[in-house]
Amino acid sequence: MSNEKNSVIAPTFDEWRRGKAGLTRLECDLLLSHVTHMSRSQIVARANRRLNCAQLSQLETLGRALSEGTPLAYLLGEKEFFGLSFDVNPAVLVPRPETELLVELAIERIEPGTQLLDAGTGSGAIAVAIARAQPNIQIDACDTSTSALNIARANAQKHRVQINFYESNWFAHFHDHKWHMIVSNPPYIAAEDPHLAALAAEPRLALVAANKGLSALTQLIEQSPNFLHQPGWLLLEHGYDQAASVRRLMTQRGFVEVKSMTDLGGIERVTMGQWHG
């Protein structure tokens, strides 16, 4: 019997995609693009092109990992945020579209000479996006994770922006620093929240906070006035059901013009206030 009769013919792009009922068309196309180093438009145009054995093996491994809960962004090594591509890995959260609201609100309030801190920067997505839009302001960013800071620095270099990075648990590293604006997407999910099951692959330190998810938010609200110029802005992303609590905490601390803004899903996602001392 000939080897040719025993050989297995690898599927075409389209055949492989149709055989992955558990994955969406977009997920399949992105994996195909990643493995073949072709654009999505090329994948579509060459749907009848056959995979080679190495590509098929890699696709099967990636598809299985995706089905088992590994975020697509970790498999691809990148995620788009605010129109920019960011390197990501399991040391950082995957940047999400709802966080773009925080960036937009910050940019709207930036004035010439603004000094800004991104507290808990993670992948650096917020700081880098702001720096790209406002390249002439001073931006600092901090995180308690060395691994996260390595990713953030790489993303700043990738997008050719100047950001000063510090390893710090919130304000612990800073003494005489003051900023005109502090922005943060801190951990805000309660340990018992059932939504955590879908986020099992992402760093728990960046997701979970004590006191029903409010401890990090409370710490930022309590301490940030010590590090804000007068007037200065504090902008915080928070959970879908935390806006009222965050507004109350900010008002009690002495912030004015406190209000919450909704994301594209109609959820109060960011609360901000101004500090006058």
The domain ranges of the chain are: 3-68, 78-275
Q: 5 pLDDT band (50/70/90 cuts)?
A: very low
Q: With pLDDT > 70 as the criterion, what percentage of the chain qualifies?
A: 97
Element housing 85 (H / E):
strand 84-87
**pLDDT, average across residues 174-193:** 96
Element housing 270 (H / E):
strand 268-275
| Cβ(147)–Cβ(118) below 8 Å | no
Q: 8 pLDDT band (50/70/90 cuts)?
A: low
Above 60 in pLDDT, residue 127? yes
143-165 pLDDT per residue, tens: 999 999 999 999 999 999 999 99
Two tokens at 189?
């999910």
Please give the CATH topology (third level) of the domain spanning 78-275.
Answer: Rossmann fold (3.40.50)
What pLDDT is recorded for position 6?
41
Q: Is the pTM of this model over 0.85?
A: yes
Spatial distance between the Cα atoms of 6 and 199, rounded to a whole number of angstroms: 43
Nearest to 124 by CA among 160, 149, 105: 149
Two tokens at 155?
């993303």
Q: 241 pLDDT band (50/70/90 cuts)?
A: very high
43-100 pLDDT per residue, tens: 989 999 999 999 999 999 999 999 989 999 999 999 999 999 999 999 999 999 999 9
Q: 2 pLDDT band (50/70/90 cuts)?
A: very low
Fill in the DSSP letter of residue 95: P
Fill in the DSSP letter of residue 198: G
**pLDDT, average across residues 210-239:** 97
| Cβ(154)–Cβ(100) below 8 Å | no
| Cβ(216)–Cβ(186) below 8 Å | yes
Do the domains 78-275 and 3-68 match in fold?
no
**pLDDT, average across residues 169-198:** 94
Nearest to 161 by CA among 192, 130, 122: 130
Indicate the average pLDDT of the chain. Answer: 94
Above 90 in pLDDT, residue 3? no
Q: 3-68: CATH homologous superfamily?
A: Ubiquitin-associated (UBA) domain (1.10.8.10)
